[in-house]
């Protein structure tokens, strides 16, 4: 496990400034990423896209991140690559510019892939730095880090509704300035981490002994991956198609539908924030049980609710379901000590990849069976959360 930092006032202040910087950059990163899904109605109209192509755009972004994130985490666990974070943010900058001025669907796909590559570099490395700055409070640090991303994902639809939709697709280029700000902050974080590594160079290496037998560790990781896949396919289907669902079923305007999406994504951000500290205090398994199983009744009711109760249920679903992610990541990192980047890459990668594949497949279903049928189908996905019963208790370390 990570060795705690000395409890001096200077170190404490520096540590929290880095955690907050990581959270802020996660927010900026995910604002830019969420703009892609938020402008789907605009892209659908501008390029005459069908739901299959909408799903392919999501898959291009998320699968690129999914395939590369574990590789980035594995490589940087073994070889330190200074200042990789600003480089990844530069890729996101280029992707936004391409999306703003694309003249064909293939160019949109390339832009989505560049944003995906930026994600692949950002998540494992920034998660590693947040953990290094945690002083041993890993759940708190992971929640702060993750809530920044969820806040960015929630803010993105609002920016799309009030800036991109009124001013057109080319206004996406304005948000490239956000990437520049991110590169500056990530450079500051990278310099701090270089100093942290020099301070830690003379200390004993953290133990990499597994807390459980190897077979048990691998089986538990498989359960955590399956829970992550289930959760993220469901949440990705809501974030990708929720605006279309509310427009078709309730006759909302595009801006009103974006506000409904904001409610769901905002509740998800709040759930992530509380999930980590609760896991530090009461245990990761408790949070995972509450999140994965507690959402089932609300998910089953959602496709049959009226407009008011749809808003209420999506807030509950977003809050409860998202509270598990920080606990799952920290639980997995404690299962495999010393592999912070690899575990962050795998789980953030599976989050993106599973969501992308699910969105693409559900796009095919939506074209043939309708968007209402997709939401009825998705309501049964959380039932797979019963796999939580297979998670073991970890011995105290």
CATH number of the domain enclosing 69: 1.20.1250.20
d(CA 299, CA 378) in angstroms, rounded, equals: 8
d(CA 279, CA 18) in angstroms, rounded, equals: 21
List of the chain residues with pLDDT < 50: 1-14
Which pair of tokens denotes residue 224?
Answer: 């955590």
| Upper half-sphere CA count for residue 192 (Cβ side, 13 Å) | 23
d(CA 78, CA 151) in angstroms, rounded, equals: 31
Q: What is the pLDDT of residue 229?
A: 81
d(CA 13, CA 169) in angstroms, rounded, equals: 41
Other CB atoms within 10 A of residue 166 CB: 10
Q: Indicate whether 5 belongs to any domain.
A: no
Q: What is the pLDDT of residue 59?
A: 79
Question: Measured in Å, how far apart are the chain's first and last C-alpha atoms?
Answer: 9
Contact predicate 163/174, CB 8 Å: yes
Q: What is the pLDDT of residue 355?
A: 65
pTM of this structure: 0.67
Q: Indicate whether 207 belongs to any domain.
A: no
Q: Which domain holds residue 343?
A: 14-200+215-389
DSSP code of 151?
H
What interhelical angle do 340-369 and 105-132 show, nearest 10? 150
Q: Indicate whether 7 belongs to any domain.
A: no
Q: Indicate whether 247 belongs to any domain.
A: yes
Q: Indicate whether 205 belongs to any domain.
A: no
Q: What is the pLDDT of residue 160?
A: 81
Q: Indicate whether 3 belongs to any domain.
A: no
SS3 content of the chain, % helix, strand, coil (to 5): 85, 0, 15
d(CA 306, CA 289) in angstroms, rounded, equals: 29
Number of domains within the chain: 1
Q: Indicate whether 206 belongs to any domain.
A: no
Q: Indicate whether 1 belongs to any domain.
A: no
Q: What is the pLDDT of residue 204?
A: 59
């Amino acid at each position: 496990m990570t060795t705690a930092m000395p409890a001096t006032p200077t170190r404490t202040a520096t540590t929290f400034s880095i955690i907050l910087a990581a959270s802020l950059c996660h927010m900026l990163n995910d604002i830019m990423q969420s703009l892609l899904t938020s402008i789907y109605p605009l892209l659908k109209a501008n390029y005459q896209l069908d739901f299959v192509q909408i799903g392919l755009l999501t898959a291009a972004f998320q699968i690129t991140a999914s395939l590369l994130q574990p590789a980035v985490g594995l490589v940087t666990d073994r070889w330190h690559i200074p200042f990789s974070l600003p480089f990844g943010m530069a890729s996101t900058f280029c992707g936004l510019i391409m999306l703003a001025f694309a003249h064909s669907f293939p160019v949109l796909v390339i832009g989505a892939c560049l944003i995906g590559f930026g994600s692949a570099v950002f998540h494992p490395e920034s998660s590693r730095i947040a953990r290094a700055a945690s002083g041993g409070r890993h759940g708190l640090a992971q929640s702060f880090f993750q809530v920044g991303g969820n806040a960015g994902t929630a803010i993105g639809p609002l920016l799309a509704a009030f800036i991109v939709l009124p001013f057109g697709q080319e206004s996406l280029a304005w948000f490239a300035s956000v990437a520049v700000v991110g590169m500056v902050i990530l450079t500051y974080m990278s310099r701090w981490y270089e100093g942290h590594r020099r301070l830690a160079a003379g200390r004993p290496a953290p133990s990499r002994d597994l807390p459980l037998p190897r077979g048990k560790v691998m089986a538990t990781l498989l359960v955590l991956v399956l829970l992550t896949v289930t959760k993220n396919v469901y949440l990705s289907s809501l974030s990708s198609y929720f605006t279309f669902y509310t427009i078709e079923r309730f006759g909302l305007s595009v801006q009103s539908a974006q506000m409904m999406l904001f409610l769901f994504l905002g509740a998800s951000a709040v759930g992530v924030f509380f999930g980590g500290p609760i896991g530090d205090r009461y245990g990761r398994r408790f949070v995972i049980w509450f999140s994965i199983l507690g959402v089932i009744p609300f998910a089953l009711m959602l496709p049959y609710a009226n407009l008011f109760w749809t808003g209420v249920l999506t807030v509950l679903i977003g809050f409860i379901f998202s509270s598990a992610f920080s606990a799952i990541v920290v639980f997995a990192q404690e299962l495999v000590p010393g592999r912070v980047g690899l575990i962050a890459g795998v789980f953030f990668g599976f989050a993106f990849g599973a969501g992308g594949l699910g969105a693409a497949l559900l796009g095919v279903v939506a074209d043939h069976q309708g968007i209402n049928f997709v939401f009825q189908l998705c309501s049964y996905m959380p039932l797979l959360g019963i796999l939580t019963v297979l998670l073991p208790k970890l011995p105290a370390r």
